[in-house]
Chains A and B, each alone.
Chain A
Amino acid sequence: MNPDWTPICLVSRKDMPSFAADAVKGYKLVSFDTAKNKLNFANCADGQEELDCDIVFRDAVARCHSTARGQAEQGRLAQLWMERFGAEPPPLFDLNDTTNGAGLAPHLVPLFGQLWRESQARSTELMRELALLRGSFDQSQTAFSRLETFLHNSGGAERAQTVSLRPFPGHLPVLLTKDCPLEQRLPIESTGLSDLSFLIAEAPTGSGTLTAKLSLLESAQVVAEWAIPTENLSKGWVRLSLFRALGPDAQTPILHLDWTGSQPLKLAPSFRHPDIRFCATGSNAVLALSLWSYICGAAAPLPADGVVQLLGPQTLRWTIGPEALCNAVDLNVAKDLVEFTQWRGSLAVRPVNQTVSFVRIDNVGRPRLAHLHGGVKTEAVLGPDVEYCYGLAPQHKRSKQRGTLPKFLDGMTSDWLRLPPNEWAILHLFLAEPLKEVCDLYLMSRLVNDEVPEHPINACFYSLQGQAESGAS
């Protein structure tokens, strides 16, 4: 910013006061003439250096004359000024034949005072408007935050899958090699984008780190980054999650992938696309992708299978929703004990006796998980009481035999919650210590006594929420 602006006072060249050459602090005296009906300005102090008309217009705050001839010239100036700029010229002062700078000061001081008062009023008005905007902003933020909490608590906080580009078997994989980063334009606008996943066609060998960045094409902003070491990469989908869905400013999201491993990382392609803008770098195919969205700018609990972005908030929430429930692994010996119901969004794990019926949901127990809770209910009007339980166990404890539960460590199971039919309850699992490694979740049910039910009992597990700290936001 330039602080050197100086206000200008205009005086006719024919009416140059004797003090014109004096360097008067605080303002600049500029002479003008109207010869040939054109405005010409010159700086009195600098030996009549010619000045740009538009600069004079910008900076002129006053005019003065000390003779009748000067007054007439000022009239001429006013006319030309209006023709040239479409505006009235600055106010005019009569110096009454004054021959020194003191004659001008009495006019300028009230003028500057007036300008100062106007400026102060404007500044005050602007400050008041800023305050109003701040209040409005605070209100919006608070309301938004309450909306987020409401959605979290009422189960509406799941990220919705919006795009699914399936892999095309038989197509050659897209190779991500060291020092050859890959870009993939995502086929949606950025508003509300919360997760994206791509498919690793083959588990990587050797060591390396996969770095992913999400940027916005139009603003060239990087909005999220992830880093995944080889040991956390396997054949299958890799889901990258943002804490907060992208905001309402619609731009084109671009996924950037970088790999440091010595062997290429093979990514599964979807269809080939004729427009190279939409193809993965160096390929004629679009990567197999899935994309999720949520409310613009809002934070939804993270999906249990999502890799969390770097540099995010310290408190974490996850949701284990219908998507995860429907992929639960049925490990029971008997058949037809497990059924996912889309319209209810619940997973029925049917107990037949006091022996535990159970399913396993792989890898949804994320590191730092401290508390798990979710809805349970026996969907029947009449019938026996059912007990419900959660359990967490690391991947290496997966049993190879059907019907066999892993040995749960202390504190890694909830209490058995007994429920009569048709009664809703929230089942909690509070972990003594947050998880240090990825674990599988077991959903278990059993009958209280050994009576054989007449009909299959739909002991239903609903979506679960996980938190990193107990009582986290």
Chain B
Amino acid sequence: MKDTLQIHDQPLVAVVVPIFRHSVLLVDAIESVLAQVAPFGIKIVLVNDGCPQTETDVVCRHFARTHAPQITYLRKPNGGLSDARNHGVRHILAHLASVRAIYFLDADNGLRPPALARAFAVLETSADVGWVYPNIDMFGLNSAHDYGGKYSRLLHSEMNLCEAGSLIRREVFEAGVMFDTQFQSGFEDWEFFLSAASAGFSGQNLETFGFLYRKRPESMLAESERDAAGITFQLRKKHKALMSPRALISLEQQEMPRLAIVLSDLQQVILTTDPAQSSETISVEDYIHRYFLAKSNPAREVIPPYLCVTSSASFQALTATGLLHATFWMLESLADKTNFGAVTAFGLDEDRMGFAVHDTAQGRHKNVSFLMIGPYLLRDVIFDSASSWIDSLATETSQPSMALIELRLPQSSFDIAPLAKGTAIIDFLAILHRLRASIWIEGAKQRMDWREGDVTRREGSHLILRRHFADEPVYPRMPSGGRNIGLILPLVEFGGVEKVALNFARAIRARGDLPHLFVLNSGDAAISSDWRQVLESITFFTDASFGAWGGGTKTYFGTEIPHWAEQGNHDRAVAMMHWLDAVIDFHGGAMMGAMGKLKRLGIATGSSLHLVDLTAVGRPVGNVFLCMAYEHAFNVVAPCSLALADWCHALGIPKEKIVPTPNAPSFPISAQRLAAGLAQKGQRLPDEPLRVLYLGRLDAQKGLNRMTEVMQAAAADKLEWRIIGRPVLPDALANLSPDIQRVLEPALTRDEDLMAAFDWADVLVLLSEFEGLPLTILEAMRQGVVPIVTDVGAVGEVVINGQNGFLIPLLNAVAECLTSLRTLATNRDLLSRLSSAAARDMVGRDWIHATKPFLDALSGR
């Protein structure tokens, strides 16, 4: 007895027994601890939580008096289970320096004799384990539940993995983790362990723990099951950081990646969520073993649900396009809806990028370079006794359905062949037959564990993150080093807004941040090499129901609220962009409806505004008004001119939210090139015809009718005209006047061509109905081209009448334009003076400076 007393003087483990109303069953619990077989002392701390039953006090006192010093009796006013446990912990921390781990035993539960020794041995041998948790063998209502398998914070965010009856390292409590007394109706243990996980600790299941749980039909936990929804809501609110999508995708990557990417030529399998990263790379043989291990006990073991077969060359080729993540996101969506998702590619002569999704791949499937299959079909074809159905994949008349992603890429810039001519079908069938012939397949069909696997969510772990986005597939990208900033455009062609966005991207890159492009309304875009040089990734928003405008039944001060803004699948959009640090909307129309959700995820949101559209009768409408409607969803608004900034403020956007980002020339030009051009312009002879340039889109907004009038009226003047551009709609060409058509040249896309055009020109004519601040004017002025422009929008912020150009009123634009042209044609000194002033006024006007305040505001600086 003396040895027993001595061993308990320096206990290594303390058992806290909180007691309220279990005055008789308490004896069984205490006895089960006294019966522990362990090579170290165990202290029992009975905490009477103000139980009104005298018997509880009597039992506790008697045990404490007769088993001193092994049993300590603490009594306290009633405060609930969490408070009672904390009381016991505080006593231990204050008085028992030798205790290295604490166990919580509810007064109606029990332990098998080897339990604490076994659990303590795990803590001793695994320094990275913060607590050891048991399986739950229930008596009373008999059942047995397996909580085995690797500990996962991802799973723990979704379900209560760990029983309170766990052995917890002292350091957890010393780190300040205690039971939250606000959680009184149950789930205290879940909250406690989430706090421990947040503090950097992790758990480990011990199969042989030997914990016995008394289960009755009506118990506190049964009561709390009824309140589960409310309690879970409180939990998620408190542990927002752990349960945020950013945290969850990192956990998914680390613990339960959703993709198994087979590089068939290397016989390697990459286990990952983010295809640009790798959680783990294993051999095909290891993958096969793990696959069947997971199928033999899905509650304990996990395998990525999606299998994608490709080759290393195809994988590298896809990575080079910048479409890697977008493609895998699309594949995952398709594999959910059909039997297979697949990828092929098509080479374009033009410098454009895009994709198309074909619901059936018939005839084109045999050369696909990527093939993805979902979890349920894979399982079915592996365990199916016959293989003829799946083997038909390799034939012309493939029976399994397959949706095909066809990537369209400029063949001058990318190696198309590995994407266009792959062997993914054959490689997949090879892997499949290896799986079917595996030595493990028979064993995987057998149920060997007698306990019920309770961690059923392990098999569908990729659905945990989806839950935050209404079960939409989540873009498989990890928040990585550096700030990731998304640029949202409805389409990418050659418009001014796109050019501004490209320059934003350049400025973002120059700051060391990472720009990502999201194209909303089209599967095909003019994403040229200029874009590709600066972008980190490109994604096409694959929601066929998305429309930037249209279908709306409500208006906001006369501007339609598009249907998708109100009722579209915002979750899919948010699932696409959840991983970004910031997004900038460039007149994305209906996408503004999803901005609020992005903002609530902690993503900084900005709106880049360019011009107020006018209806046919001249009423202001458009993206600026839509931005007003969704103003609360944006952190920062970036009007492209001071006038637009004032206008936004006048309409109600707080001043601190408005960061004007004045436009600048859309392409860079070297000082030498600029000087050479200006010098060349200075050598023009006075009797040469005045060179007049129009450069831009050919649509009604641009005042083409006025320009035609001017051209007709000046037919006899010594003027040389060049009109460069194209209409948005190709068939609108025929509607252009013969005067324009006679001198019309195709649109210019290359910077060198634009520079050459501005070098040629003396004057830029732009008689628009409405504008923002056209980039063409700034580019022209930079190269000394004198602007003759209507005074609309913010044009007046850069063109000062008579000083660096002619700013003419819209009402009398034709006459004033004619006068200006004739003046310059006959007064070359004036032309030269205005040209120099125009060039001088553009010095220092660049995107790095222009965007800095906005980008600083977006990053919270």
Cβ A86 vs Cβ B75 within 8 A: yes
Chain A min CB distance to B116 (Å)? 13
Q: How far is the CA of A252 from the CA of B210 in the complex (A)?
A: 11
- Interface range on chain A (Cβ under 8 Å from partner): 35 or more
Interface string of B38-79 (1 = CB under 8 A from A): 000000000000100000011001001111110011111110
Task: Report chain A residues within 8 Å CB of B443.
Answer: 271-275, 278, 286
Q: Which residues of B, 430-452, contact A by the 8 Å Cβ criterion?
A: 439-440, 442-444, 446-451
Interface string of B1-40 (1 = CB under 8 A from A): 1000100000000000000000000000000000000000
- B735 interfacial by beta-carbon distance below 8 Å: no
- What 9 pairs between A and B have smallest CB-CB spacing? A86-B77, A273-B443, A271-B442, A189-B450, A86-B50, A274-B293, A5-B65, A187-B448, A274-B440
Count of residues in B whose CB is under 8 Å from the partner chain: 49
- B496 interfacial by beta-carbon distance below 8 Å: no
Cβ B448 vs Cβ A54 within 8 A: no
Cβ B66 vs Cβ A2 within 8 A: yes
Chain A min CB distance to B78 (Å)? 6
A57-B73, A188-B450, A219-B210 known; A275-B64 Cβ under 8 A: no
Interface string of B87-105 (1 = CB under 8 A from A): 0000100010000000000
Q: How far is the CA of A274 from the CA of B291 in the complex (A)?
A: 9
Q: How far is the CA of A40 from the CA of B95 in the complex (A)?
A: 16
Cβ A271 vs Cβ B76 within 8 A: no
Q: How far is the CA of A139 from the CA of B444 in the complex (A)?
A: 46
**Residue of A with least CB distance to B50:** A86
Q: How far is the CA of A222 from the CA of B121 in the complex (A)?
A: 22
**Residue of B with least CB distance to A219:** B112
Task: Report chain A residues within 8 Å CB of B290.
Answer: 274
Chain B min CB distance to A190 (Å)? 8
- A220 interfacial by beta-carbon distance below 8 Å: yes
- A68 interfacial by beta-carbon distance below 8 Å: no
- A218 interfacial by beta-carbon distance below 8 Å: yes
Q: How far is the CA of A252 from the CA of B449 in the complex (A)?
A: 9
For A54, give its contact among B67, B74, B447 (CB under 8 Å). Answer: B74
Q: How far is the CA of A54 from the CA of B57 in the complex (A)?
A: 13
Task: Report chain B residues within 8 Å CB of A219.
Answer: 112-114, 210
- A335 interfacial by beta-carbon distance below 8 Å: no
Cβ B5 vs Cβ A2 within 8 A: yes
Cβ A272 vs Cβ B450 within 8 A: no
- A1 interfacial by beta-carbon distance below 8 Å: yes
- B142 interfacial by beta-carbon distance below 8 Å: yes
Cβ A275 vs Cβ B112 within 8 A: no
Q: How far is the CA of A272 from the CA of B58 in the complex (A)?
A: 57
**Residue of A with least CB distance to B443:** A273
Task: Report chain A residues within 8 Å CB of B209.
Answer: 218
Cβ A1 vs Cβ B66 within 8 A: yes
- B267 interfacial by beta-carbon distance below 8 Å: no
Interface string of A405-446 (1 = CB under 8 A from B): 000000000000000000000000000000000000000000
- Show 30 residue pairs from A and B whose CB-CB distance is below 8 angstroms, ordered by the A residue: A2-B69, A52-B95, A57-B73, A57-B75, A58-B64, A58-B73, A59-B65, A85-B77, A86-B50, A86-B75, A86-B77, A87-B50, A185-B448, A187-B447, A187-B449, A188-B450, A189-B451, A218-B137, A218-B208, A220-B113, A271-B442, A272-B442, A273-B296, A273-B440, A273-B443, A273-B446, A274-B440, A274-B444, A275-B297, A286-B443
**Residue of A with least CB distance to B61:** A58
Cβ A2 vs Cβ B67 within 8 A: yes
- B509 interfacial by beta-carbon distance below 8 Å: no
Q: How far is the CA of A346 from the CA of B114 in the complex (A)?
A: 48
Q: How far is the CA of A58 from the CA of B69 in the complex (A)?
A: 12
**Residue of B with least CB distance to A118:** B58
Task: Report chain A residues within 8 Å CB of B75.
Answer: 54, 57, 85-87
- A146 interfacial by beta-carbon distance below 8 Å: no
Q: How far is the CA of A83 from the CA of B297 in the complex (A)?
A: 52
Chain B min CB distance to A246 (Å)? 13
Q: Which residues of A, 162-201, contact B by the 8 Å Cβ criterion?
A: 165, 168, 185, 187-189
Cβ A275 vs Cβ B448 within 8 A: yes
- B381 interfacial by beta-carbon distance below 8 Å: no
Task: Report chain A residues within 8 Å CB of B449.
Answer: 187, 278
Task: Report chain B residues within 8 Å CB of A58.
Answer: 61, 64-65, 73
Task: Report chain B residues within 8 Å CB of A87.
Answer: 50, 57, 75
For B112, give its contact among A168, A218, A286 (CB under 8 Å). Answer: A218
Q: How far is the CA of A273 from the CA of B440 in the complex (A)?
A: 6
- B144 interfacial by beta-carbon distance below 8 Å: yes
